[in-house]
Structure 1
Amino acid sequence: MTGRPIAIAGAGIAGLTAALCFAAKGFSVAVFERAETLQEVGAGLQLSPNATRILARLGVLESLGENAVRPRAILLKDAARLSTLAGVTLGQKAERRWQAPYLVAHRADLQKALLRQVRANPAIRLELGTEVRDAALRDGETIATVEKAGQPGEVACDLLIGADGVWSQLRTRVGGRQSRFTGFAAFRAILRDAAASDQAVGTVAPDAVTAFLAPDFHLVAYPLSGGADLNLVLVTRSAEIGRGWANAADMAHLLAATRRAAPALSDIVRLAGAWTAWPIHEVQIGGPWTNAGLALIGDAAHALSPYAAQGAAMAIEDAALLAELTAGGGDMPGALATYERLRKPRLARVARRGAFNRFVWHAGGPAALARDLALRLKSEESLAADLDWLYSYDVEMIGAAPATDT
């Protein structure tokens, strides 16, 4: 390894995971985060086995501890009748099948677990209040332009990783386009303590990931904080709203979207109280992700709609593979080319799965009747087998194998 570090722009899930992955391969790492403090933002997230096996190798699952919940199942329910259409058992059965657990956790808890591992690793330096503004290749080395407290500076590195999210400033440096608003928003809320257990139970399984399907919306609910809280994510059409995690939601809009849902489900929407709104943006997967000494990962490269619950998992996979490919040293352009070659077919298939889920989950009329019949006729084994390509995938075993659509 050279004396120059791997530089990472962004200390979210993608950036912190990348720092740990590269440090595990023997690199020194510098992480630059423009925020002065790392705040607890966002809400819950699902961590499928393709992500948790990587987090386990990094020691993050142990650090996450009891803040993560192992749901017993994924359930699909009709939002109007509350009837169960299909389900896949998780827990130990799923862990045996996919060789890693399926977890749900608060995004802030995962970030804190990653941060604990980062701060305990002497090979990683975290600099808050420092923004990466630009990057250039100069005399064969990558120069990142950074700004701290209004003062510009430069950092020489072997590779700059853009982990600066869906509204990445570094995406233009590889020739990528701005994100596209999809016309949908994710509305988020958490039912706390007694409200989650006393009034939601019976409508929402408190120990499962439950998706309620309707033509105008879908609502996903799952436990957090050891089961004490209930995370709610409602996705429906929306006018374009401000960028950010914590836009105040219009309750009238939510109630209008759920007007055809079962009264008990509408009651949960009211019970949750303060909802926040997150505009759903996508980034074209076919665009460039790398350029000389710069590589994008996570939402900066390929922001996905949430219909496959794979946003965090894909960022974690990106980080692990990029570190694996560059660990050999020497041919950085070749490693970056291989990274794109291996990742783009995988991301394209995940995006197709998400688009399929959106169509199925928001189906109405005859299409919904056909969906319900098809789901009821499928066995649980068949439903689980449909997920094998996604959850059994071990990105660190892919190495430099030829890219396939798996």
Structure 2
Amino acid sequence: MNVPPRHVAIAGAGIAGLTAALCFAERGFRVSVLERAEKLEEVGAGLQLSPNATVILKRLGLLEDATRVAVRPVSIELRRADSLRTLAAVPLGETALRRWGAPYLTIHRADLHDILARAVRAHPAITLETGVTVGSAKLSDAGNVLSATRAGVEDEIACDLAVGADGVRSALRAAGPLARPARFSGYVAWRAIATPQLCAGLIPTDRVSAFLNPRFHLVAYPLRGGQIVNLVVIGRMPAPTESGAGGERRMLPPGIIAGAADDIDALAANVDGWLPWPIAEVDGEASWIDPAGLALIGDAAHAMGPYAAQGAVMAIEDAATLAATVAARPDDLAGALARYQAVRRERVRQVAKRGAFNRFVWHASGPVALGRDIVLALRRGRSLAADLDWLYAYDAETA
């Protein structure tokens, strides 16, 4: 009989890693979180947290904190980018609470990260270390260890289970039998923050707005109680040479929003610069686990495009499922990891298919776009919400 795993070492202190730490600690595990950065901080801008994520925050006792700094949008509104005509609206707000049992929130990534980090630091079963670079995992019958570097000094950290929550460029994925490269998807997300005043007349600050166009789509939604508006333009183009949080803000490339209404053109030109983020993907069909004691979660396992607004949500679901599965099979780690992968792989496949469908429909042109508009005009909000029951009512801990 295997010795039940009691010490979990997690590489990465992003949203996936911190959520996993809390989920494991709540089930009686001792947890070490190892973060490469010297200072714990999160980059990026807005996130959409659908009810399948906020229900997990509620169980961790963090939903009230999140709600205080978030916005609860009344709907997701689909509009044409050329005429600005509204095509359809999915009701959220109170409808989300009644239908899916938890709220739909828009929140600044840094705010969510801060809430999770404070909870991790306050938990007596969790140790959080920064400035630690995890290189690889050595798995054997004699025990599992993570190779790590602290201030230039090599070290080994013993654990029963290693969790790779270190993102799309995961060192734990790249260094062992789970190795596979991340690939550029061909799409770039250009991110910016605007004031409500700058968006006035175009983007309401009480909902998620998606503007559809064959060349691009623009998603906009309020953050921090409506004090700011998150903007994301996604289109196909070569990857910029400089990108991400360390890149330089710049104007949108010529032509990326060609065909947009004048109001969108004006907004794009007047915000304080855009940051390009090449959208990377990871083959989610390859293995996420080593039965001896290694599991990947979040982008490290299955980075996908943002077309269903489920990237961070899938990481939160992964964390909850992995902890619940390992805790449910204390004497069978290999079986628990296999079960985690089977359950999560099918779920991620479904979400990825929905994202691919959204991208196709949102970027449609010609007769396909005309057909889309006609079909959406015939759909009522309740019907559109029902289409999302499989996604938003999902319970990752009991699946």
- TM-score after normalising by structure 2: 0.96
Q: Aligned-pair distance for 1:63?
A: 2.4
Q: Aligned-pair distance for 1:396?
A: 1.0
> CA-to-partner distance for each residue in 1:225-264, whole Å, 9 max, x for gaps?
10011000110112123464443354251x4211310000
Match of 2:268 in 1: 269
The residue type equivalent to 2:294 in the other structure is L
68-77 or 266-275, larger mean C-alpha shift? 266-275
Q: Secondary structure at the match of 2:82?
A: coil
Task: State how far apart, in whole Å, the 2-side matches of 1:227 and 1:66 are.
Answer: 12
- The answer on whether the counterparts of 1:246 and 1:278 sit within 8 Å (CA) in structure 2 is no
The residue type equivalent to 2:188 in the other structure is A
Q: Secondary structure at the match of 1:279?
A: strand
Q: Aligned-pair distance for 1:64?
A: 2.3
Task: State how far apart, in whole Å, the 2-side matches of 1:325 and 1:155 are.
Answer: 23
Task: State how far apart, in whole Å, the 2-side matches of 1:87 and 1:155 are.
Answer: 50
- Matched positions, count: 393
Residue 109 (structure 1) aligned with residue 111 (structure 2): yes
> CA-to-partner distance for each residue in 1:62-87, whole Å, 9 max, x for gaps?
22242111001100000000000000
Match of 2:38 in 1: 36
> CA-to-partner distance for each residue in 1:71-115, whole Å, 9 max, x for gaps?
011000000000000001111111110000000000000000001
1:315–1:40: structure 2 CA closer, same or farther, 3 Å change rule? closer
Match of 1:383 in 2: 384
The residue type equivalent to 1:248 in the other structure is E
- The answer on whether the counterparts of 1:35 and 1:130 sit within 8 Å (CA) in structure 2 is yes
Q: Aligned-pair distance for 1:293?
A: 1.1
Q: Aligned-pair distance for 1:336?
A: 0.5
Identity of aligned residues (%): 55
Match of 1:132 in 2: 134
Task: State how far apart, in whole Å, the 2-side matches of 1:180 and 1:48 are.
Answer: 27
Q: Secondary structure at the match of 2:102?
A: coil
Residue 191 (structure 1) aligned with residue 190 (structure 2): no
Match of 1:282 in 2: 281
Task: State how far apart, in whole Å, the 2-side matches of 1:314 and 1:142 are.
Answer: 27
Q: Secondary structure at the match of 1:114?
A: helix
1:236–1:246: structure 2 CA closer, same or farther, 3 Å change rule? farther
- The answer on whether the counterparts of 1:189 and 1:231 sit within 8 Å (CA) in structure 2 is yes
> CA-to-partner distance for each residue in 1:151-198, whole Å, 9 max, x for gaps?
011111110000000111111324231111011111101113xxx2x2
Task: State how far apart, in whole Å, the 2-side matches of 1:335 and 1:396 are.
Answer: 13
Mapping of residues 297-312 of structure 1, within 5 Å: 297-312=297-312
Mapping of residues 236-275 of structure 1, within 5 Å: 236-241=235-240, 242=242, 244-248=244-248, 250-253=250-253, 255-275=254-274
- The answer on whether the counterparts of 2:46 and 2:223 sit within 8 Å (CA) in structure 1 is yes
User: Structure 2: which 5+ residue stretches go unaligned?
Assistant: none
The residue type equivalent to 1:308 in the other structure is A
> CA-to-partner distance for each residue in 1:122-153, whole Å, 9 max, x for gaps?
10000000011110113342111111100011
Q: Aligned-pair distance for 1:3?
A: 8.4
Task: State how far apart, in whole Å, the 2-side matches of 1:73 and 1:61 are.
Answer: 20
- The answer on whether the counterparts of 1:141 and 1:293 sit within 8 Å (CA) in structure 2 is no
Match of 2:375 in 1: 374
Match of 1:179 in 2: 182
- The answer on whether the counterparts of 2:4 and 2:332 sit within 8 Å (CA) in structure 1 is no
1:135–1:396: structure 2 CA closer, same or farther, 3 Å change rule? same
Match of 2:342 in 1: 341
Match of 2:213 in 1: 214
The 4+ residue runs of structure 1 with deviation greater than 4 A are 1-4
Task: State how far apart, in whole Å, the 2-side matches of 1:191 and 1:122 are.
Answer: 40
- The answer on whether the counterparts of 1:247 and 1:278 sit within 8 Å (CA) in structure 2 is no
Task: State how far apart, in whole Å, the 1-side matches of 2:189 and 2:323 are.
Answer: 32
Q: Aligned-pair distance for 1:20?
A: 0.2
Match of 2:101 in 1: 99
Match of 1:160 in 2: 162
Task: State how far apart, in whole Å, the 1-side matches of 2:64 and 2:252 are.
Answer: 42
- The answer on whether the counterparts of 2:71 and 2:107 sit within 8 Å (CA) in structure 1 is yes
Q: Secondary structure at the match of 1:95?
A: helix
1:252–1:396: structure 2 CA closer, same or farther, 3 Å change rule? closer
- TM-score after normalising by structure 1: 0.94
- The answer on whether the counterparts of 1:4 and 1:156 sit within 8 Å (CA) in structure 2 is no
Residue 57 (structure 1) aligned with residue 56 (structure 2): no
Q: Secondary structure at the match of 1:46?
A: strand
Match of 1:294 in 2: 294
